[in-house]
A and B are shown apart, each in its own frame.
Chain A
Amino acid sequence: MTDGPPAVLVVEDDPDLVALLEMVLVESGRRVRTAHEGRAALARVGEEMPGLILLDMRMPGMNGWEFAREFRARHGHGCPIVVVTAAENARRRAEEIGADGWLSKPFDLDEVLAMVARFLGPAGAEGPAASR
């Protein structure tokens, strides 16, 4: 297990969006881990259970639906999942996989930070720290 506050696992295939989310979250004092698709995300979860997963739905390789099914099978409700999707009805995608919240693309950065704070509480006093 890695030391420090629970991490946010960003599962997203667009590298620019991953980089941005990582930058913004780290700046706001979160520890961030990333994965570009479902299988890589499962490996990250295997290494360390995150405090929250931000999950894209459409990804090459293992997509969001398959990841969510596999994650629940292995870890039950190990940590909350927030769906981040461009789909027309983000809420419905979230319901489909029993997610705890949803963000529809394009989102406001403030929405993302508020969503993370809702599940992880205010950013830790330890200060910014990133790990991969």
Chain B
Amino acid sequence: MAIYVVLGIAWIAFSDRLLDALVPDAELQRTLQTAKGIAFVVLTAALLFLLIRGSERGLRALSAEVRATLDSIADGVMLVDAEGRIVEANRAMIQLLGATSKDEVTGPISEWSERWKLRSVDGAAVPNERLASMRVLAGEPNPRYDAILQRADGVDVFVSVSSAPVERPYGRRLAVTVLRDVSPARRLDDAREEFLASAAHEFKTPLAVIKAYAQLMARREPEEAHPLAVIQRQVDRLALLVQHLLDASRLRLDPADGRQERFDLASLGREVVEQLRHATTKHDLRVAAGAAVPVQGDRDRIGRVIATLLENGIRFSPAGGPVDVRIESDGVEAIVSVTDRGLGIPRDRQERVFERYYRAHAGMPDDPGGLGVGLDVSRAIIQRHGGRMWFESVLGEGSTFHFTLPMVAEARA
């Protein structure tokens, strides 16, 4: 191209002078000049044609490569333009939806989500402006969510949707949206959660029978009150473990599960401590709670979180001693802290304390047992209520677990 430009300029600048010098005859000069002009135009046209064809072939090859790359991606990929139209979709997208041609999966995205019955995991339709592609077009950098689609054959598919912007040098931005089929993993999850839920259910009925018979006997034989109280206490302990398993599975199954009510965290804390006081003879359970601390959420579950922290405090201080529950507030947040003077958690194991099934004391000589689900579930419950959970612990000195909950205005509580 550069050579063409140099030669072209040189030709225009010097060819006439050259002609003047070489051909003296004016008539012949004019004829030659016309021929020269025609030759220049023809040559230029031919050159331009070759150039354009070359770059077009390159473009076509590039486009075929991009197409092949898109089609070789195992996840469904689609390109959405600024008007919210799906302009491109790869082969995996067509297969994911069980469609027969690309035409079925392109077009306005609002029609697309209607056609394939796009729903969020809880079954509610996803409004147009909440679609990942539309959020990207509105300026959000990288939205993602899980959803359900209905394939052409009527089967539901669980997909994980994510989208990212494609900035273009000319024209408005596009959104590239990826749909990953997570159905197999999801089905396995569902089966496992369902199993866990029924297992927990099956455990609780016999517990109910044992506890009720123990209570019946305690009424009839007051002199046997102590052993029967032990049976009840152990049943309660088993029931709490079962409840943790249920919570662990239910929290994932029904994200919207749980009741919203206003309650006083301070009196809930006192209540839980009273309920657990009979669970130990070696420990001194103390509550420091002042004025009412109004919060909002699932009172039963928050109660179980406090019970879990207290039970842990008791369990992880086998030598006995005080376990303190402190409930305070800074007017914006309520803070609950549970402190024991027990075993403490080794520093190198602290990072994993909130992992499900992880037990920081596993394999240690003073391992007091447990399932490793209490803290994971508790933290999930607190996070779902908009709070945080953390702890401090020193090996051999004990641990303090804290959680916060947002407070609600007292006037409305």
- Residues on A close to B: CB < 8 A? 14, 16-17, 20-21, 23-24, 58, 86-89, 91-92, 105-110
Which interface residue of A17, A24, A88 has the most chain B CB atoms within 10 A? A88
CA of A24 to CA of B213, assembled, Å:
10
**Partner pick for B201 among A87, A92, A106, A107, CB 8 A cutoff:** A87
A89 touches B213 (CB 8 A): no
Given that A58-B201, A106-B239, A109-B216 are known contacts, is A88 also in contact with B208, CB under 8 Å in the complex?
Answer: no
Describe B's contact surface by its main secondary structure: helix
> Chain B nearest CB: distance from A88 CB in Å?
4
> Chain B nearest CB: distance from A36 CB in Å?
13
Q: List 17 A-B contacts (CB under 8 A).
A: A17-B209, A17-B212, A20-B212, A20-B213, A21-B212, A24-B216, A87-B246, A88-B246, A89-B259, A89-B300, A105-B208, A106-B207, A106-B208, A107-B208, A107-B212, A109-B215, A110-B215
Q: Which residues of B are found within 8 Å of A20, using beta-carbon distances? A: 209, 212-213, 216
Q: Which residues of A are found within 8 Å of B98, using beta-carbon distances? A: none
Q: Which residues of A are found within 8 Å of B246, using beta-carbon distances? A: 87-88
CA of A89 to CA of B239, assembled, Å:
13
B205 touches A17 (CB 8 A): yes
Q: Which residues of B are found within 8 Å of A87, using beta-carbon distances? A: 201, 246
**Partner pick for A108 among B197, B204, B209, B215, CB 8 A cutoff:** B215
Tell whether B257 is near chain A: CB-to-CB under 8 Å.
yes
A89 touches B208 (CB 8 A): no
Q: Which residues of B are found within 8 Å of A108, using beta-carbon distances? A: 211, 215
B243 touches A91 (CB 8 A): no
> Chain B nearest CB: distance from A96 CB in Å?
12
CA of A16 to CA of B200, assembled, Å:
19
Tell whether B247 is near chain A: CB-to-CB under 8 Å.
yes
CA of A70 to CA of B97, assembled, Å:
39
Q: Which residues of A are found within 8 Å of B213, using beta-carbon distances? A: 16, 20
> Chain B nearest CB: distance from A86 CB in Å?
4
A105 touches B200 (CB 8 A): no
B188-237 interface (Cβ within 8 A of A)? 197, 200-201, 203-205, 207-213, 215-216, 219, 235-236
Q: Which residues of A are found within 8 Å of B321, using beta-carbon distances? A: none
A92 touches B259 (CB 8 A): yes
B247 touches A105 (CB 8 A): no
Given that A14-B209, A24-B216, A109-B212 are known contacts, is A86 also in contact with B258, CB under 8 Å in the complex?
Answer: no
